[in-house]
Structure 1
Amino acid sequence: MKKTALHTALFAAVAMTAFAAQAGQYPDLPVGIKGGSGALIGDTVYVGLGSGGDKFFSLNLKEKDAQWQELPAFPGGPRNQPVAAGVDGKLYVFGGFQKTEVANNQIINDVHVYNPEDNSWSKVDTRSPRTAVGASSVTKDGKIYFVGGVNEEIWNGLFQALTAAGDDKAKQKDILDPYFNMRAQDFFFSSEIASYEPMKNSWRNEGYFPYQGRAGAALGLKGDKLLVVNGEIKAGLRTPTTELGTIGKNGISWKKLGDLPAPEGYKQQEGIAGAMGGYTNGNYIVTGGANFPGARANYAKGIMDAHRTGGLKKTYHSAVYALDGKKGTWKVVGNFPQNIGYGVAVSYNNKVVVIGGETDGGKALTAVRTMSYDGKKLVIE
């Protein structure tokens, strides 16, 4: 009976997904962009960096037959996993990983702003009190809220040590083994919610996130409700939990929601990092992301090096999850056309626009697709 019920449920989820005849209603990116960032300002979405090098592109989502336009080169140079946000008609870009004279993959703590009015970039005289790298952001009332983020000292120190080790495999092992064998809390991912208000060029501590610090979580914002979906809690290990914060005058109050359910073919939900989500017809949906199946089971057994033990493989996913806002629970409502993670998603015109990303093997994607969900049917174009 259990097998029959499971098959019935999975069939129903797949049946609720409808695909348009065309790949999508918007043109593909000029280049594949994974590990980059982007934001929506009015009707225009901006996407760039990551595998796009120092390039940024814009697309007017309202204009019929619009094509991607290339912006002036980003002045901070190529970088991966920056955080981008739109405020007061301008695009702000925070930090990222970058190759420097010191070492590869160094966290850069800087801020740049793009002004569409004069098509120019400038550097902002500020820096984040908590690294924005690995963080996720939402914008409300002229402020950018940051959730999570990796620890700059631990991360930069790791790659500086690896650079000093050169090609010596024994030295590399002596550096990497202690790193991957740390407990989740010993990675010191940020559990403080920071905010930045461009008009005042000021940072604020908006309170403590009372759950595990994380990187690469998916976020959603509706009114004063801030939704946090999964994310990485240490290298190679994710969490399946979701949380909801209420933004108030005196900070943010939090409560736990249900975990994401396991996708088809898996015994448990590993949790996903690099997923893409947003609101459509009042419903929050999220898709994609990557994890290492088996890592949670290893960690529960006390194996700190959870994803390397047993040679676990980084796996990308396609399940689309929808939140029941009243119950605080999730269900699978269909599947994205391909496994995907680490792209850009924005909510626009009652649809979630998914831009670029990467798929199996780390291949960078150019496709732009939309997802809409009315509480019953998922439509992907």
Structure 2
Amino acid sequence: MKKTALHSALFAAIAMTAFAAQASQYPDLPVGITSGAGALIGDTVYVGLGTGGDKFYSLNLKDKDAQWQEIAAFPGGPRNQPVAAAVDGKLYVFGGFTNTDVADNQLINDAYSYNPADNTWTKLETRSPRAATGATGVADKNKVYFVGGVNEEIWNGLFQDVKAAGEDEAKKKAVFDAYFNLRYQDFFFSSDIVSYEPATNTWRNEGHFPYSGRAGAAVELKDNKILVVNGELKAGLRTASTELGTIGKNGITWKKLGDLPAPKGAAQQDGIAGGMGGYTFGNYIVTGGTNFPGARANYEKGITDAHRTGGLKKTWHSEVYALDAKKGTWKIIGNLPQNLGHGVAVTYNNKVLLIGGQTEGNKPVASVTTMSYDGKRLVIE
């Protein structure tokens, strides 16, 4: 009798934390988009760039029969890993990598706004004081906050040196070896929290992020609190740490939260870059992303070229993590139906929408997946 009661209790607990997978309620993008950018304005989400070239698309989430619509092409040309955010009914796009006459994959620091009212783009008379590329942008009512970002001089110099090497493979190898053998501190990823206020066209230094610079972190802003989840410390090396910053009158105060737990069967959590998350029914959840399992262990042994040593394989993930806000700890609550990373995430009607991204082999995907979690049950559509 006791055994039966215990079995029933365990079954009920498992059932409450299980996830339900259903068909997606939103149409696929016209093309697969990874390493792009997007944001939500009212009931309409905007997504583009990356593998979408200079294209941007919009979808009215309120209309159950709506399809993606192509809007005016982005005037800055194709680019990867820009930052996008919405403020006061307009979409803002900053930076990104693009091919130039100088070299491929050059980081630029321009800025554009898009006005849905007349379907027009405007190049802004400003430039970011820190590299927006590789950063994550989050907006409140009147500002965009930037967390992390790669170093413009180091990144652009790398690909200029690669171009100068021409067809000499030995010279190219020497360039990349010197780059990958840098310590993570010597990548000089941005540790400044930078903000941009469109109304005044003003950039501000909002203070120092004391846990090392990041690229590709999952970041969310809610109730004057900035949540930072993992990210890349240097090429190929992620961190498992998470942090919470509170915006106050005297700047941002930070505290460290728990690390993400290791996936099933993994020796440790290597951290994720390109994770996607948001708030649902008051709960923050994050999923997906990529890493090189074993890179952290290599780096802790003093191997600075951590992900190439031993031929570590880039891995995409499907774990969904939920934050216990009171304890500052995380747990795995389920998995996506496929491994996914580097897409656009927005929150709408208590659901986190995962739009586009990439899966194994850097393959762009066009699907739109939604997640919701009420603290007991994860539902994926």
Task: Using structure 1 for the length normalisation, give the TM-score.
Answer: 0.96
| 2:112 corresponds to 1:82 | no
1:210-259 CA distance string (max 9 Å, x none): 01101000011220111000000011000000000000122100000000
| Contact 2:16-2:377 within 8 A present in 1 as well | no
Post-superposition offset of 1:141: 2.7
Q: Within 2, Cα distance between the matches of 1:313 and 1:12? A: 33
Matches of residues 1-381 of structure 1 in structure 2 within 5 Å?
Answer: 12=14, 16-20=18-22, 22=23, 24-381=24-381
| Contact 1:95-1:110 within 8 A present in 2 as well | yes
Structure 2 gaps of 5+ residues are 1-9
1:101-122 CA distance string (max 9 Å, x none): 0100000110011100111011
Q: Within 1, Cα distance between the matches of 2:59 and 2:142? A: 23
SS in 1 for 2:174: helix
Distance 1:306 1:14, change over 3 A: farther
**Over aligned residues, Cα RMSD in angstroms?**
1.3
Q: Within 2, Cα distance between the matches of 1:374 and 1:35? A: 29
Post-superposition offset of 1:32: 0.3
Q: Within 2, Cα distance between the matches of 1:257 and 1:286? A: 15
SS in 1 for 2:318: strand
SS in 2 for 1:47: strand
Letter in 2 for 1:368: V
Segment of structure 1 superposing worse, 164-173 or 254-263:
164-173
Q: Within 1, Cα distance between the matches of 2:146 and 2:14? A: 37
| Contact 2:83-2:94 within 8 A present in 1 as well | yes
Letter in 2 for 1:180: F
Letter in 1 for 2:19: T
SS in 2 for 1:173: helix
Q: Within 2, Cα distance between the matches of 1:31 and 1:141? A: 31
Letter in 1 for 2:177: D
Structure 1 gaps of 5+ residues are 1-7
Q: Within 2, Cα distance between the matches of 1:14 and 1:35? A: 34
Post-superposition offset of 1:308: 0.3
The residue that corresponds to 2:7 in the other structure is none
| Contact 1:47-1:344 within 8 A present in 2 as well | yes
| Contact 1:106-1:155 within 8 A present in 2 as well | yes
Q: Within 2, Cα distance between the matches of 1:203 and 1:250? A: 17
Q: Within 1, Cα distance between the matches of 2:328 and 2:17? A: 24
Post-superposition offset of 1:178: 1.1
1:92-139 CA distance string (max 9 Å, x none): 000100000010000011001110011101100000000100000111
Post-superposition offset of 1:12: 4.1
Task: Using structure 2 for the length normalisation, give the TM-score.
Answer: 0.96
SS in 2 for 1:273: coil
Aligned length: 371
Displaced runs of 4 or more, over 3 A:
11-15
